Amino acid sequence: MVREPVRIKWIWPVLVVIILLGVPWYLPQGTIEPVIMGFPYWAFISFLMTAILSLFLGYVINRCWDMETLLDNSSGKDKGGERK
């Protein structure tokens, strides 16, 4: 089976959740403390969510994307246009 990220539906809602949790819209405006490793807590959350985002995208690239080898093996690139 050819694996293509856009056709694997669960990836995208998960991505949206990771993205939205990294933006401080849901936290009380004006708050700062605690400060963690020099980051105010909300920026630290955003830092962690960015790392999770990179990890997740890495997972998607490795596990949910495999097209070329399968397409090449099945009938070669040149005749691809006739295939349906």
Partner 1 sequence: MKLPFIGWHGVITIVAYALFILGSTLYLATRGVSRKNLSSFYLANKGLGPLLLFFTLFATQYSGNTVIGYPAAAYRLGFAWWQSVPYMVLVIAGYLLFAPRLHVVSKKYGFVTPSDWFDKRFNSKAVTLVATLLMAYGLLNYLLEQLVAMGQAISGLTAGVIPYIYGVIFLVTIMLIYEWMGGMKAVALADFINGVVILIGVIGFVLLAWANFGSLSSATQNLIATAPKKVAVPPLQTSVNWISMYILVGIGAAVYPHAIQRIYAADSEKTLKKSLLRMAWMPFFTTGVVFLIGIIGTQAFPGLDKMQSEQLVGMMANVIAGKSAFNYWFMMLLFSGVIAAIMSTTDSVLLSLSSLLSNDIYGKVIKPNADEAEKVMWGKITGIILVFLLLLIAWKPPATLVEIFTLKFEVLIQVAPAFLLGLYWKGLSKTGVLLGMLSGAVLAGGMTFSGMKTLWGWHGGVLGLGLNIVISVVFSLLFPDKKEEQERAEEVYSWVVR
CA–CA separation, 76 and 63 (whole Å): 23
Nearer to partner 1, 1 or 9 (CB): 1
Strand partners, 39: 36
Find the shortest distance in angstroms from Cβ 56 to partner 1.
9
Summarize as ranges the residues that interact with partner 1 (CB under 8 A). Answer: 1-2, 4-7, 15, 19-20, 22-25, 27-32, 35, 37-40, 42-43, 46-47, 49-51, 53-54, 57-58, 60-62, 65-71, 74, 77-78, 80-81, 83-84
